[in-house]
Amino acid sequence: MRISGKRVIVTGASSGIGRALAVSLAGRGAVLTIAARRYDKLDEVSREIAAQFPDTPAPVAVRCDVTIAGDVSTLIGGAVERLGSVDMLINNAGISVYGETRLTRPEDFRRVMSVNFFGAVQCMLEVLPFMRRQDSGLIVNIASVAGLHGIPFLGAYSASKAALIATSQSLRTELADTGIRIMIVYPGYTDTEIFEREIMVGGGKRPPARYAPVNEVAEAIVHAIERGRRDLIMTRRGKLLSVLRGAAPAVVERVMRKMASELRDPDEPRRDPGES
Ligand SMILES: NC(=O)c1ccc[n+]([C@@H]2O[C@H](COP(=O)([O-])OP(=O)(O)OC[C@H]3O[C@@H](n4cnc5c(N)ncnc54)[C@H](OP(=O)(O)O)[C@@H]3O)[C@@H](O)[C@H]2O)c1
């Protein structure tokens, strides 16, 4: 796919992978609408892009909480009104919950599902009528390696990403005879704000992991879009997991059990940035 001139909406573009994706796509001439709740951060991204790429239209920043249906309608309806339609939607907005699943409250499950799953679904349902009308479009869903299998201490987060993957796969087959494509991205650990802002329910500590630089992750995603990839599994471990979960489930379970016992930490308290 040639990105230049494409009308692209990126959710969760105020930081991390979404912000880096916006910069990378703008560098290739995309006409961007960027969305998130923190308007000041979005505005900063828009100004940065305008200064860096003066030949590309500055991104339009839209304050949007993807868990609010009215916000999503305004985001997508506004982009269509301004630009005529939408060529690409990148569902990137996401939050994380970490810790023992038995300590995860029903409201923690609901919070992560409402952003990572229902938020993405809401955006897809809003954009699909426009894409169907023009019989073309690309929806890129940012899932996670953690959606390939339930990961210890990520019970709620893994569930939200597994749900997003399943719905993306259903849609992909239903839309196979149309010009609309669905791409699923499975990033591994990436150096972003998500870990500072996540809900820690307690009982487990984060593993010492290698965090990929966010610009590398965004570049890999944009390359995959250009090459028309259907799925992008981003780490060696992720690729191994996607093969072994079917071929050798007992091995995967042994590795996960070892990980759970190494990361279990009863002294790890509950911390919720949203509660403070
Ligand atoms: N970092 C990793 O290791 C990793 C690994 C695999 C997958 N991912 C996925 O990558 C995506 C981006 O995450 P990130 O790591 O870049 O984290 P991040 O820096 O925290 O970015 C998350 C983005 O989502 C937005 N967001 C959160 N809740 C929202 C809501 N209700 N409505 C609209 N926007 C919302 C945030 O903006 P506001 O707060 O301004 O709304 C922010 O722009 C997520 O889907 C995440 O699950 C990340």
Asked if 186 is an active-site residue, the reply is: no
CA of 94 to the centre of ligand 1 (A): 4
Report the sign of the C-alpha dihedral through residues 97, 102, 108, 112, in that order. positive
What number does the ligand 1 atom closest to the CA of 114 have? 31
For ligand 1, say whether the CB of 147 is within 6 Å of any of its atoms: no
DSSP type of residue 258: H
**What pairs with residue 99 in β-bridges?**
202
pLDDT of the residue at 209: 84
Determine which one of 157, 186, 189, 211 is catalytic. Answer: 157
Report the sign of the C-alpha dihedral through residues 63, 69, 75, 78, in that order. negative
CA of 251 to the centre of ligand 1 (A): 31
Are 188 and 161 contacting, i.e. CB atoms less than 8 angstroms apart?
no
Angle, CA 23 vertex, CA 192 and CA 46 arms, to 5°: 100
Q: Block means of pLDDT (10 residues each) for the chain, length 276 residues?
A: 97 98 98 98 98 96 98 98 97 98 98 98 98 98 98 98 98 98 98 96 93 98 98 97 97 97 95 78
State the pTM of this model.
0.98
Distance CA 241, CA 245 (A): 6
CATH fold group of domain 7-263: Rossmann fold (3.40.50)
pLDDT of the residue at 260: 97
Q: Of all protein residues, whose CA lies closest to atom 2 belonging to ligand 1?
A: 190
For ligand 1, say whether the CB of 33 is within 6 Å of any of its atoms: no
CA-nearest of 46, 90, 63, 93 to 194 is: 93
